[in-house]
Amino acid sequence: MPAELLESVVKHASASGTRDAVRWLIDNSCAYAELLSALDAARHAIWMSQLAFDADCVAYDAAAVVSDQRGRPIVDAIIEASTERAVDVRILLNASGLLDTAAPLRAFLQRAGASDVQVRGIRRFPQLLHAKVVIIDGTEAFLIGSPFANGYWDDSRHRPFDERRPPRELGGRPLHDVSCAVTGPAVVALETQFSELWNDVSVSPDAHHRIANASGSPSPRAIRVARTAPRRTLPTYPDGIADILPEIERGLAAARSLVYVEHQYLSARPVIDALTAALAREPSLEVIVLLNQNPDVTAYRGWQNARLREAGLLEHPRVGLFALWSAERGSRGSRGSRREVNQLFVHSKVLAVDDVWATVGSANLDGVSLHSYGDDFASRLGRRVFRHVRNFDVNLTFDDRDGALSGAVRDLRIRLWTEHLGLAPHQLVGRPEGGWLARWRARAVRNVTALANGLDTLPSGGFVLPYSTCSTPRTQLAEIGIDPERLTMHFDPGWLEVHCSPNWVRNMFA
């Protein structure tokens, strides 16, 4: 499609989607299904940025049992859009020494006869293209939580063991993630940031033309786009971009009753400082935090626990720290009737305040996604060497204080808590007497009792347990009163894996 025609299509489509709206896509079986439908419906353009895109990544039917390997490779929808409907498809991937799926995907598409699909890479070692965005025909944009790799697929059942979830990426752990689809003015801003990356940062072995710039970057009120980008990469931003952190700080500064954090990591000092300031300012504020006890990168467990300890959040009476687990009885791999358990890996990037404000996207609550990787280090050398390292990330901020989003932020919280707490949505609408934190703690205690006593009273899917700073899943369970010897554990790493993350290193350099 010529650049001038593509520009016309984008401008017309963006102008037609004038109302801010969002759909929450909880867990990747849902996100992938919605994305495939949108890819099948695309008629003009598909623009995609991703950390990684494996050609064998399959979107499985969430309703299928494990033995039914029914699924559809995501790349098939891309190929069909390009070859059968002449859709302009552009895919931008990280292509640094740490992770490069651009070259193998390009080779796969050539073999499949889809040479019109353009694939470019960004090489900014040690910084990553971490933004995961898909824009369809200029009218709808998806912020996808996970890279397109099979180890990140899961559905809301979060089974401890599932053949469709290979152990390569995350040790076979079930995974919880949050994506969203938006329409309205924010789509134009996302188009603009994509075209900047495609034209000014990416490297390409072909001679395809540049994208004509999208029609500006508006400042929508209800849904805003915030970005992070390193220095000396975008010509118009020589000092880089760090818009996401100020958005988070402003959101937390306005918190009055509830802050809910559901994140892969929490190591950014400015975010910890903003949380502690909000707690000191508002005597009735509750903070509920859902985190990984065993992150996928070596240093993060120590950094996260150090930040929480230094800020006094581990023992703060108005702060609740929780982790997700899954369990079932009698599936493959169990011994007799022993209950099977697994840590549930939290890959979400959700921060919500008072049911009226939230930020969701690709940015973790760490230095490299927000402002400076060096800020996460304790040593002077680490802080100096990595002080300007910053990924390419994108978040959406949702502001429903005037009701423009029709309760979308509240609905996100309710949907997430329904899954994690095993409660009906109507039980999670109004703040209960005694507060939300008491309800979370009560559910966690109930789950500990059920696991410790072998009772069949756990909710299906993921459920909450108290957060532990111990190093291994076995010691984490033991610390909260559960005997791990009575359970079949599907993720049971030893000292080397916990402290050196060999799986992560292998994945990065494979």
Set out the domains of the chain in order of their start, with CATH numbers: 3-220 (3.30.870.10), 241-509 (3.30.870.10)
- In this structure, what DSSP letter does residue 123 have? -
Whether the predicted pLDDT of 13 surpasses 60: no
481: left (phi over 0), alpha (psi -120 to 50) or beta: left
Q: Please report which confidence band the pLDDT of residue 68 belongs to, taking 50, 70 and 90 as the band edges.
A: low
Q: In the structure, what pLDDT confidence band is assigned to residue 184 with cuts at 50, 70 and 90?
A: very high
Residue the block writes with tokens 């699924």: 71
| Longest Cα separation, the chain | 67
Mean pLDDT of the chain: 89
Higher-pLDDT residue of 70 and 506 is 70
Structure confidence at residue 81 as a pLDDT band (50, 70, 90): very high
pLDDT on residue 128: 94
Q: Please state the rounded mean pLDDT for residues 112-132.
A: 95
What pLDDT, on a 0 to 100 scale, did the predictor assign at position 461? 78
Q: Are 449 and 455 in contact (CB under 8 A)?
A: yes
How far apart, in Å, are the Cα atoms of 250 and each of 38, 274, 463?
A: 34, 9, 31
Rounded CA gap, 259 and 267, in Å? Answer: 17
| pLDDT of amino acid 264 | 97
Q: Give me 431's structure tokens.
A: 């703040």
Residue 14: is it exposed, middle or buried by C-beta count within 10 angstroms (0-12/13-18/19+)? buried
pLDDT tens figures, 347-403: 999 999 999 999 999 999 999 999 999 999 999 999 999 999 999 999 999 999 999
pLDDT in tens, 194-227: 999 999 888 765 544 566 654 444 455 799 999 9
Q: Is the pLDDT of residue 509 over 50?
A: no
Can you tell me the distance from the alpha carbon of 216 to that of 209, in angstroms, rounded to the nearest whole number?
20
- Tell me the per-residue pLDDT of 402-448, one tens digit each, with 9 for 90 and over: 999 999 999 999 999 999 999 999 999 999 999 999 999 999 999 99
Q: Establish how many alpha carbons lie within 13 A of residue 54's alpha carbon, considering only the half-sphere containing its beta carbon.
A: 17
Whether 391 contacts 228, CB under 8 Å: yes
Taking residues 84-94, report their average pLDDT. Answer: 97
Q: Provide CB contacts within 8 A for 453, sequence distance 6+.
A: none
Average pLDDT (17-22) is 78
- The per-residue pLDDT for range 239-267, each reduced to its tens digit, is 999 999 999 999 999 999 999 999 999 99
What residue has token string 């999670």? 428
- What pLDDT does residue 334 have? 46
Does the structure show a pLDDT above 80 at 86? yes
State the Cα–Cα distance between residues 90 and 48, nearest whole angstrom. 6
**Around Cβ 115, how many Cβ atoms within 10 Å?**
13
Does the reported pTM lie above 0.75?
Answer: yes
pLDDT of residue 494: 84
Tokens of 305: 């626990």
pLDDT tens for 157-183 read 999 999 899 888 898 999 999 999 999
For residue 101, give the nearest of 116, 113, 88, 91 by alpha carbon. Answer: 91
Single-letter amino acid code for the residue at 364: N
- Hunting for tokens 């009575």 — which residue is that? 486
